Structure 1
Amino acid sequence: MDQPDSTTSTFDDFFLHCPELVFIADEGGALLRTSRALTRAMSPEVLDGGARPGLGALVHPEDRRSFDEAWGRLRAAAEPMDLVLRLKAADGSFRCFQCAARWVPEKGEAVGSLRDVEERIKSEIQLKLLRAINDHLPVCLWAIDRQGVFVLHDGKGLQSAGLKPGQFIGLNMFELYPPEGTAELRKALDGKMSYFVNEIEGVHWEAWYLPILNDRGEVTHVAGVTLDITPAKRTEQELRAKLDLIERQRQVIRSLSTPIIQVWDRVLTLPLVGMFDSARAADVMEGVLREVVRTQARYTILDLTGIEAMDTETADHLLKLTAAIKLLGAEGIITGIHPAIAQTIVGLGVDLTSIETRSTLRQGLEYCIRRMGRELR
């Protein structure tokens, strides 16, 4: 009985136990041998569908032309094949693989391997993204080990701090900065992410300290991302200044729209013009009551000559205002009511009988002078 060829047995063991995705194919691309790892990784409907499935059957339709051209050059022994392709994986999705193969003329076969490059491509994209952020945005990227020694120090934002990339590498952060300046860093060394905003020599920084953990959950390094937000802060300050200016202007406009005039000794008058809503009523009440107290006024004339329309809410504001004036020991007098407003007041059922009214501001002033004359006698 013939003994099995040890070389063949070793060859079979290699394809059975090899963890890499390796294959042998003929000149047409038909797979003669595949490692178990490759069989498990690729689409079973292709590899198990026939006695000699083709490698090309796994290739994404959009990549098939590139594969055929590269395989043709391989068969001509012109050059080895090294190409990134999308191949159909075991879960039915297409994943990126690097296909490397070499033609063996003596055997009339091609030997090759596949390597999943999805993670590599993601890592390359992440590195390119990080580099783009580092080169174009006003950020400082740095990292220290547990002892506080810088192992990374880079970023365009270093220019704002008057530093150069790599200037702090090998230096210890705890020696560069005082203890009060490293409190947030110590939190990160304890495994807690830290975020704060500070200002150093007129430059505003927004900073994140991120703990980096090993497989056992231990902090090995701390990464820092520091963003120069000085332009944003400057814009915010300018916006606040504009808002403050607008508010001051509004206050001036309010005071001009409701001028409180002392027309006689202890007699105030307030000409009301335009809309008299809740917001304006609050301003008027505050201003009038303040002036009544300041001037020790005895009478306050509310002149409605400039108001051509009135609703229940406006009338209610007037009633509240005259009531508040009365509580301060003064008397509120309403003058200049238009006929249309008088009809509206009657129609709304608002009772103004408890308030002294006059047709014109002059008549209101005469009423106040006569009353004060009687009081003096």
Structure 2
Amino acid sequence: MTQHYTSSRDPWEAAYLYSPEALFVANVDGTLSHWSESFGRTVGHAATPGTAFFQLFHDDDREAARAKWSGLLEATGSVELRGRVMTAGNVYASFSCVLRRAPHGQEVYGSLHATSGADDHPAAEPGKGEDADMLRALSDNLPVIVWSCDAAGVITRHDGRGLSGLGLKRGQLVGTNLFDVFANAPEGTENVRRALRGSPSHSMSHVPANNSFWENWMVPIQSPLGNVESVIGLSLDVSEAKRAEEELRLRLLQIQKQQEVIGKLSTPIIQVWDGVVALPMVGVVDSARTADVMQSLLDEIVRTSARYAILDLTGVEMVDTQVANHLIKLVNAIRLLGAGGIICGIRPSVAQTIVELGLDLNSMVTRSNLRAGIMFCINQMRQAASTPATNGSPGR
């Protein structure tokens, strides 16, 4: 905190307060306690009592400044740290800070010096600093890698939280040639070459080393003359989504297999007698299930050379027009294969529906239950065995 010089004030104190150097005094924990007018003009409103010295630094430089400060507590001489500091103009500028701990006591003396050639970065200029801050927030909090390379393939930016998943540090590949580093990944480098030729690209890639999956976008940056000067790339780690997708696919496959097993169990084809197969149908019968049953039953008749096929509807509570038509078609198809089709176990509700639908089952053999259906087939085969064979279906 600055004070005006008076004749009664110690000249050394006045020299400190009005020094052209940006001087400050901080407690051992980094809290600012006093500073010169030059320091106040340099950092502006940030110079308030109780402010932590580290809070003046850019987010990316703050941890390094804190580490240097910790080293000061063990050092006997001065310590220099560098970083971007928020200035009174609301921009980040690069500074060198020289620190020295007081020989006796818990104070730390320091001075700020702007470094030559420093790049100033607006901290809140609309459309510039805000965009940069948003990009920084995205790259710091999302599993992404933001990178860029020049026309020769030299990497000029390499950043993002996604790098840690690949065992890389931020900026580790800056200055290296992308085509040399990823020579073993020709598909990825070909996408970069395509972008350098002016065509944006989008691709998926797999890293076997850690079984990670990445979605990549590459955008060419052109000069006013239309020449591609660089390529900006964004890679998003989609491993979790891929694994969830694969898990969902496996679950759906498992459900499909379970449904197939349930379908076979719910419509088992049983050989109840030599030359006689039966199909007990249970539960809800719809058009899709009836179509599957038709194919399975016809295949079984051919495989076993069955002479009769019994459709047992004892467990069926209700049918509609389409299902009833399918059953009629099924019996007709059984006849075309040279076998006889018998329908048994029609419940009263199903019989009423068939009558209301106006379907004619007079040409079909029906029996009250499965036992009666089996007895009919046995009697028909006995009669056929005791009399000469005639043309027509086995049931006649």
TM-score normalised by the chain length of structure 1: 0.66
Residue equivalent to 1:186: 193
Point out the structure with the larger helix share.
Answer: 1
Residue equivalent to 1:177: 182
Alignment of 1:100-139 (within 5 A): 120-139=125-144
Q: 1:337 aligns with which of 342, 346, 356?
A: 346
Once residues 291 and 234 of structure 2 are traced to their aligned partners in structure 1, the CA distance between those partners, rounded to angstroms, is 49
Residue equivalent to 1:143: 148
Partners of 2:158 and 2:171 within 8 A in 1: yes
Q: 1:295 aligns with which of 304, 323, 329?
A: 304
Residue equivalent to 2:207: 200
Q: 1:354 aligns with which of 360, 363, 373?
A: 363
Q: Percent identity?
A: 50
Residue equivalent to 1:154: 159
Q: 2:292 aligns with which of 267, 279, 283?
A: 283
Q: 2:381 aligns with which of 363, 372, 375?
A: 372
Q: Residue type of the partner of 2:353?
A: T
Residue equivalent to 2:314: 305
Q: 1:234 aligns with which of 243, 258, 261?
A: 243
Partners of 2:319 and 2:350 within 8 A in 1: yes
Q: Residue type of the partner of 1:233?
A: K
Q: 1:219 aligns with which of 221, 228, 238?
A: 228
TM-superposition CA deviations, 1:290-317 (whole Å, max 9, x none): 2222222111100111223333222112
Q: Residue type of the partner of 1:232?
A: A
Once residues 283 and 120 of structure 1 are traced to their aligned partners in structure 2, the CA distance between those partners, rounded to angstroms, is 69
Q: Residue type of the partner of 1:226?
A: S
Once residues 288 and 174 of structure 1 are traced to their aligned partners in structure 2, the CA distance between those partners, rounded to angstroms, is 62
Once residues 243 and 310 of structure 1 are traced to their aligned partners in structure 2, the CA distance between those partners, rounded to angstroms, is 29
Once residues 301 and 339 of structure 1 are traced to their aligned partners in structure 2, the CA distance between those partners, rounded to angstroms, is 19
CA 1:340 to 1:139, structure 2 compared with 1: closer, same or farther past 3 Å?
closer
Q: Residue type of the partner of 1:291?
A: E
Once residues 145 and 246 of structure 2 are traced to their aligned partners in structure 1, the CA distance between those partners, rounded to angstroms, is 24
Once residues 300 and 369 of structure 1 are traced to their aligned partners in structure 2, the CA distance between those partners, rounded to angstroms, is 12
Cα shift at 1:364: 0.9
Q: Residue type of the partner of 2:254?
A: L
Q: Residue type of the partner of 1:191?
A: G
Residue equivalent to 2:168: 163
Residue equivalent to 1:319: 328
Once residues 321 and 160 of structure 2 are traced to their aligned partners in structure 1, the CA distance between those partners, rounded to angstroms, is 65
CA 1:136 to 1:341, structure 2 compared with 1: closer, same or farther past 3 Å?
closer
Q: Residue type of the partner of 1:234?
A: R
The answer for unaligned runs of 5 or more in structure 2 is 1-40, 46-88, 90-121, 387-396
TM-superposition CA deviations, 1:166-218 (whole Å, max 9, x none): 11111111112234441111110011100000111111111011101122222
CA 1:216 to 1:301, structure 2 compared with 1: closer, same or farther past 3 Å?
same
TM-score normalised by the chain length of structure 2: 0.63
Once residues 345 and 231 of structure 1 are traced to their aligned partners in structure 2, the CA distance between those partners, rounded to angstroms, is 54
CA 1:343 to 1:139, structure 2 compared with 1: closer, same or farther past 3 Å?
closer
Cα shift at 1:120: 3.1
Equivalent pairs, count = 268
Once residues 292 and 351 of structure 1 are traced to their aligned partners in structure 2, the CA distance between those partners, rounded to angstroms, is 25
Where 1:121 maps in the other structure, the secondary structure is coil
